């Protein structure tokens, strides 16, 4: 049996055909560029049509299709909300895809759900039934697996961990992104740096020579490596927030593994021991001894592997 996984990322679409063992038979990347609305839908259905073509599959029939979207998948409606794609507030992706897939099962889920499914299938959470992917990128989200099933909540928007309240009292800066995301996401790190620089004119370190509006989390990581004081201050605060978030996931979910990944976490991987140290101070003391904190085993491919596993699980469940 083979399945097709599609990961609609921020800048490109990745499509992979997988065997049951997670081996990639065929693979395609398509840049999204400036496409929007139905143009993105058409790009997806074009890729699917190509991948389903019997000449391409050499006679093997693709048994199911999984799609990872950068936002929320409203399962019962078949619609998708993706904040970074213009016109995808309530996009009827399932209906559109069904036009080219015929009777092949199609399952669409959020990127964060796919990340943890990918890690459980072929990454660092292999075989886990209670595991969480903490995705720290531009924003922050969590893909949460409870007893082998994705935690969806009553309306498909569970896992919005970027909104976690960690620092009282409430600050109006948290209003549009949430407290945790404000302080410890890629975008948040830039904001915190800009705020500090505007309030501390005497700082003359590495980050002071940057164009203030353009400072990114990568600049901060680079400066951190060079022992820059501001970068250390910002990252030490992030370690505190990441540790508190890990602790709260442990106390609430008692997971076997928490995988930390996402765009920001490439350079932050070496900080995992310090994050765990901070988490140990806060977390339920038995639960924290039962959890393993690990980096993503699949990196940027977690989404497409998860999409493949979405498809694979739908067949196995039948």
* Residues found near a second copy in the complex (CB under 8 A): 129-130, 142, 144, 146-147, 149, 151-170, 174, 178-179, 240-241, 244, 247-248, 251-256, 278, 281-284, 286-287, 290
End-to-end Cα distance, the chain = 14
Neighbours of 313 (CB within 10 A): 20
Shorter beta-carbon distance to a second copy: residue 91 or 241: 241
Asked whether 66 and 5 are in contact (CB, 8 A), the reply is yes
Radius of gyration of the chain (CA): 20
Name the DSSP class of 292. Answer: E
Shorter beta-carbon distance to a second copy: residue 211 or 286: 286
Residue 3, burial from CB neighbour count under 10 angstroms (0-12, 13-18, 19+): buried
CB of 181 to a second copy, least distance (A): 10
| Token digits of residue 318 | 């039948």
Asked whether 295 and 102 are in contact (CB, 8 A), the reply is no
The whole-angstrom separation of Cα 20 and Cα 18 is 7
Shorter beta-carbon distance to a second copy: residue 181 or 228: 181
Asked whether 159 and 112 are in contact (CB, 8 A), the reply is yes
Q: Provide the β-strand partners of residue 143.
A: 133
The whole-angstrom separation of Cα 75 and Cα 205 is 49
CB of 46 to a second copy, least distance (A): 32
Q: Which residue is listed with tokens 């049996």?
A: 1
Shorter beta-carbon distance to a second copy: residue 18 or 253: 253
CB of 33 to a second copy, least distance (A): 29
CB of 82 to a second copy, least distance (A): 15
CB of 306 to a second copy, least distance (A): 19
CB of 287 to a second copy, least distance (A): 5
Shorter beta-carbon distance to a second copy: residue 24 or 160: 160
Shorter beta-carbon distance to a second copy: residue 4 or 291: 291
* Pairing status of strand 149-150 against strand 140-146: antiparallel
CB of 121 to a second copy, least distance (A): 18
Shorter beta-carbon distance to a second copy: residue 57 or 254: 254
The whole-angstrom separation of Cα 27 and Cα 201 is 50
Residue 130, burial from CB neighbour count under 10 angstroms (0-12, 13-18, 19+): middle
CB of 172 to a second copy, least distance (A): 9
Shorter beta-carbon distance to a second copy: residue 178 or 261: 178
Asked whether 182 and 166 are in contact (CB, 8 A), the reply is no
Q: How many CA atoms lie within 13 A of 69 on its CB side?
A: 26
């Amino acid at each position: 049996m083979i399945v097709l996984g599609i990961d609609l990322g921020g800048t490109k679409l990745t499509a992979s055909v997988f065997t049951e063992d997670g081996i990639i038979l065929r693979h395609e990347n398509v840049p999204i560029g400036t496409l929007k609305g139905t143009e993105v839908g058409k790009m997806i259905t074009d890729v699917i049509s190509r991948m389903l073509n019997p000449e391409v599959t050499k006679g093997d029939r693709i048994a199911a299709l999984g799609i990872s979207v950068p936002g929320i998948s409203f399962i019962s409606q078949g619609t998708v909300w993706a904040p970074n794609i213009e016109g995808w507030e309530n996009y009827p992706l399932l209906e559109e895809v069904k036009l080219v897939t015929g009777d092949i099962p199609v399952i669409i889920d959020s990127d964060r759900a796919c990340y943890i499914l990918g890690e459980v299938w072929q990454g660092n959470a292999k075989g886990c039934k209670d595991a969480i992917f903490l995705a720290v990128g531009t924003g922050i989200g969590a893909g949460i697996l409870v007893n082998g099933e994705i935690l969806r909540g009553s309306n498909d928007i569970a896992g919005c961990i970027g909104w976690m309240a960690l620092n009282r009292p409430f600050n109006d800066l948290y209003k549009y992104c949430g407290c945790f995301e404000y302080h410890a996401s890629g975008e948040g790190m830039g904001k915190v740096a800009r705020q500090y620089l505007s309030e501390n004119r005497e700082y003359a370190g590495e980050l002071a020579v940057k164009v203030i509006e353009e400072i990114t989390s990568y600049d901060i990581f680079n400066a951190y490596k060079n022992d820059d004081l501001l970068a250390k201050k910002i990252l030490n605060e992030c370690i505190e927030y990441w540790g508190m978030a890990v602790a709260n996931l442990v106390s609430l979910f008692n997971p076997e593994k928490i995988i930390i990944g996402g765009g920001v976490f490439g350079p932050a991987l070496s900080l995992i021991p310090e994050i765990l140290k901070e988490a140990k101070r806060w977390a339920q003391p038995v639960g924290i001894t039962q959890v393993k904190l690990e980096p993503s085993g699949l990196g940027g491919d977690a989404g497409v592997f998860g999409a493949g596993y979405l498809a694979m699980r739908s067949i196995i469940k039948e």
